[in-house]
Amino acid sequence: MSLAKMIVLGLFFFQLLNIRSLGAACLSNCSTIDIKDPFGTDSSCARLGFELTCNQSFQPPKLFLGNTSIEVLDISYSGSTALVRSKVVSTIQSSYNDSWSGFPTNGPYSISITQNKFVAVGCGTLAQLSSLQQPQQVISACASICVDQTSTSTDGSCTGIGCCKSSIPTSLTSFEFQLTSLNQMSLSGKNYSNKAFIAQETWLNTNVQAMESQYTNVTDDNSVVVPVLLDWKIDNLSCAKANRKSDYACSSNSVCVDYNNSTGYQCKCLDGYDGNPYMKDGCQDIIECNQPNKYPCDGTCVNSQGSYTCICQNGKRSSNCTTSNGKELIPLAGVLIIVGVGIFVCLLSLPIAIIMLMYKLKARRLRKLKEKFFKQNRGFLLEQLISSNKDIAERMKIFNLEELEKATNNFDQTRIVGRGGHGTVYKGILSDQRVVAIKKSKIKLQREIDEFINEVVILSQINHRNVVKLYGCCLETEVPLLVYEFISNGALSNHLHANFSRSLPWQDRMRIALETARALAYLHTAASISVFHRDIKTANILLDDSLTAKLSDFGASRSVPINQTGITTVIQGTYGYVDPEYYYTGRLTEKSDVYSFGVILVELLTREMPVSQGRFPDGGNLAANFMMVMQDNRLFEILDPQVVEEGRKSEIKAISALAEACLNLKGEERPTMKQVEMELENLLGLRKRSKKRSGHLSTPQRLVENDGILRITSIEGSSSSSEYMTRQFSLEEEFLVESFPR
Among 18, 29, 76, 507, binds ligand NAG (CB under 6 A): 29
Q: Which stretch binds ligand NAG (CB under 6 A): 3-11, 29-37, 405-413, 591-599?
A: 29-37
For residues 224, 225, 228, 230, the Cα torsion angle rounded to the nearest 10 degrees is 170
Distance CA 699, CA 712 (A): 29
Tell me: is residue 440 an annotated ligand-binding position.
yes
Q: Which stretch binds ligand NAG (CB under 6 A): 77-85, 215-223, 395-403, 583-591?
A: 215-223
3-class DSSP state for residue 119? Answer: strand
Least distance (Å) between residue 229 CB and ligand NAG: 12
Distance CA 449, CA 443 (A): 9
Among 26, 61, 295, 461, binds ligand NAG (CB under 6 A): 61
Please say which residue, 56 or 461, places its beta carbon nearer to ligand NAG. Answer: 56
Asked whether position 314 contacts ligand NAG by CB under 6 A, the answer is no
Least distance (Å) between residue 328 CB and ligand NAG: 21
Strand order in the sheet with 62-65: 52-55, 62-65, 71-76, 81-85, 227-232, 109-111
Among 14, 16, 220, 465, binds ligand NAG (CB under 6 A): 220
Please say which residue, 191 or 699, places its beta carbon nearer to ligand NAG. Answer: 191
Pairing of strands 307-311, 300-304: antiparallel
- Interface pattern 149-188 for ligand NAG (x via CB under 6 A): ---------------------xx------x----------
Q: What percent helix, strand, coil does the chain show, rounded to 5?
A: 35, 20, 40
Asked whether position 137 contacts ligand NAG by CB under 6 A, the answer is no
**Total residues belonging to the chain:** 742
Q: Which helix (H) or strand (E) holds 559?
A: strand 558-560
DSSP 13-68: HHHHHHHHHHHHHS-SEETTEE--TT-BSSTTTS-TT-BEEEETTSSS-EEEETTS
Least distance (Å) between residue 350 CB and ligand NAG: 42
With CB under 6 A as the rule, give the number of residues binding ligand NAG: 37
Among 25, 31, 389, 461, binds ligand NAG (CB under 6 A): 31
Least distance (Å) between residue 92 CB and ligand NAG: 7
- Interface pattern 707-726 for ligand NAG (x via CB under 6 A): --------------------
Please say which residue, 296 or 566, places its beta carbon nearer to ligand NAG. Answer: 296
Among 135, 306, 326, 490, binds ligand NAG (CB under 6 A): 135
Distance CA 161, CA 283 (A): 45
Distance CA 625, CA 700 (A): 15
Catalytic residue among 37, 285, 535, 640: 535
Least distance (Å) between residue 221 CB and ligand NAG: 10
Distance CA 688, CA 684 (A): 9
Residue 113 near residue 201 (C-beta atoms within 8 A): no
Q: Is 535 a catalytic residue?
A: yes
**Among candidate residues 464, 459, 461, the one with its CA nearest the CA of residue 437:** 459
What residue ranges in 315-400 does DSSP mark as E strands?
397-398
3-class DSSP state for residue 434? Answer: coil
Among 216, 304, 454, 672, binds ligand NAG (CB under 6 A): 216
Q: Which stretch binds ligand NAG (CB under 6 A): 93-101, 356-364, 502-510, 586-594?
A: 93-101
Q: Which residues are annotated as a binding site for ATP?
A: 440
Q: Which residues are catalytic?
A: 535
Binding site for ligand NAG (CB under 6 A): 27, 29-31, 53-57, 61, 67, 95-97, 106, 110, 113, 135-136, 170-171, 178, 191, 216-220, 223, 236, 260-261, 263, 296, 298, 319-320
Known binding residues:
440
